[in-house]
Amino acid sequence: MVSSNVADRRIGVIGLGYVGLPLAVEFGKKRSVIGFDINRKRIAELATGHDETLELSSAELAEASLLKFTSSIDDLATCDVYIVTVPTPIDEHKRPDLTPLIMASEAIGSVLKRGDIVIYESTVYPGATEEDCVPVLERVSGLRFNQDFYAGYSPERINPGDKEHRVTNIKKVTAGSTMQVADTVDALYAEIITAGTHKAPSIRTAEAAKVIENTQRDVNIALINELALIFNKLGIDTEAVLEAAGTKWNFLPFRPGLVGGHCIGVDPYYLTHKAQSIGYQPEIILAGRRLNDGMGAYVASQLVKALMKKRIHVDGAKVLIMGLAFKENCPDLRNTKVVDIISELREYNINVDVYDPWVSADEAIREYGISPVPEMKANTYDGMVLAVAHKQFSQLSESDVRELGKEEHVLYDLKYVLPSSASDLRL
């Protein structure tokens, strides 16, 4: 039996990225917490009060007086609740890559004790916690599931770069491997989640709920992207159409664009993988994924056509990509689809400069082999693509952006940063 009293629970958070750090900080304001990450550089920076993801300020980190950082798994041995917040990416074949999750489970298994609870927050397909992670915990620890130790699931709902929707004011779904554990997990999160919690009837239900949240958004954006392709061929302004349709009370306010990041562009593949493993071929979800994954190439082809129409020599042309992060006002480069535009333009032997005031140049080089330029130079470019709506770009006028171009150039506004009449191309 596991005690439902959470007062004396000591928490270990495994993975201190966009999800784990804000969670560890909130718990660290109220109880003893150990934040663990295998990245020693990350631990050293956090210990000095610096968060390179820019999710938390030094002052906010300092508020978590009961939070300690470590890269030594042995330091987690004193914990009795482990919360796993590691990434769940896809591989080059768009299949779920559970490697970080399995490695985290092995690490926890090495210090797991009787009565401990392991809670997973990483997005997975229904069944992954109990079918993939729990056997690892059992194998490494030698303990028995739901007799010696227990599991929980509470999917993350972090929105990187969003200073309004934070971990505490977003409702939290919780679940446990037994009814009593579910109560314990729910009570634990209720300590910090001011928006309240929703206790799901099972871990599989909570896993499914999480994975369809982003799948639903992905399919809806795919529909709008397809409409944009149609309207572009018809010579109709997509934004004007969406504004008109949006006057109806129940029209959903989605916009066309690139679908990248660690959630919307990845999570649907977890669900389709599970569906295919049980003999069902998902049609709509995969169709939406194919369409969204092709938007970078479409943008590049539209730009090339526009250059040709203005009789600008494509071979050797110089193009500026404004923004590399997967979303605005955020340094997160994970699965950014801006790289698809860059890759496609380079296929035409176009010279591409990338400028992004938010991202780390070292990370851009390490992840994508892209060296961002330190500044945007006037009278330099045959084409400019407003790819990410960073506030620095939103503050620019049409003339500010056009001054970057040569006398004859093309301005492509992917994010509706400028008025409709200000750009040569829009989605």
Positions annotated as catalytic residues are 263
| Phi, psi (deg, nearest 5) at residue 99 | -55, -50
CB 204 within 8 A of CB 127: yes
Collect all residues with Cβ–Cβ distance below 8 Å to 318 and sequence separation of at least 6: 350, 351, 352, 353, 380, 381, 382, 383
The arrangement of strands across the sheet holding 351-355 comes to 351-355, 318-322, 381-386, 405-413, 425-426
Q: Are 96 and 60 in contact (CB under 8 A)?
A: no
End-to-end CA distance of the chain: give it in Å, rounded.
57
Half-sphere exposure of 125 (CA within 13 A, CB side): 20
- Pairwise CA distance, residues 63 & 61, whole Å: 5
Provide the 3-class DSSP secondary structure of residue 389.
coil
Helix axes 267-277, 284-293, angle to 10 degrees: 140
Inter-residue contact 321 to 353 (CB < 8 Å): yes
Whether 37 and 102 have beta carbons less than 8 Å apart is answered as no
Look-up of token digits 């007086």:
65
What distance in Å separates the CA atoms of residue 26 and residue 29, rounded to the nearest whole number?
5
User: In sequence order, what DSSP letters do the residues of 6-61 get, joined into one string?
Assistant: -TT--EEEE--STTHHHHHHHHHTTS-EEEE-S-HHHHHHHHTT--TTSSS-HHHH
Q: What does 51-72 look like in DSSP terms, one character per residue? A: -TTSSS-HHHHHH-TTEEEES-
CB 383 within 8 A of CB 398: no
Sorted by sequence, the CB contacts under 8 Å of residue 8 that are 6+ apart come out as none
Identify whether the C-beta of residue 3 lies closer than 8 Å to the C-beta of residue 73: no
